[in-house]
Amino acid sequence: MSSLEIPSSNTPVISNEDVFNLHNLSSSQSNTQGTYDQLNELFNNQDAQEKTIREARDILGESVNELSNSQIFDLVNEVQFLVESWLEEFERNTFDGKTLDELIGLKT
């Protein structure tokens, strides 16, 4: 046999029974489920981002007509960060250095 010839074998790599029972193979099933979960999370995040942009455009009206979706999303995130920072600072000043989450035990 030359080095280019592939040896023939009567033993199949995978049997017909294995093909019919693929749904019972836990490792491939868990990998597939993990992939589906990751794709669903990606699309859910994308849908949430698009919803945020639509809501911001509706609220801000014509003042954002010249901004791209990316610019609007960044603007919303910056404002959200500022609001959360200011709220945390206010809570710490009001409740002796603790936030409400720390007071009720949600955060340590």
Look at residue 94 in the predicted model and tell me its pLDDT: 95
Residue 16 lies in a domain: no
What is the mean predicted confidence (pLDDT) over 7-35? Answer: 55
In a domain, 68, yes or no: yes
Is 83 within the bounds of a domain?
A: yes
From first CA to last CA, the distance across the chain in angstroms is 71
Residue 9 is predicted with a pLDDT of 45
Least confident of 13-17, 86-90, 92-96: 13-17
Q: What angle in degrees, to the nearest 10, is found between the helix axes of 26-60 and 69-94? A: 90
Alpha carbons 74 and 70: distance in angstroms, whole number: 6
Amino acid type, 21: N
Number of domains in the chain: 1
Q: Is residue 66 part of a domain?
A: yes
Nearest to 50 by CA among 76, 81, 78: 76
Query: How large is the average pLDDT for residues 50-70?
Result: 92
Q: Helix, strand or coil for residue 13?
A: coil
> Range of 75's domain?
23-103
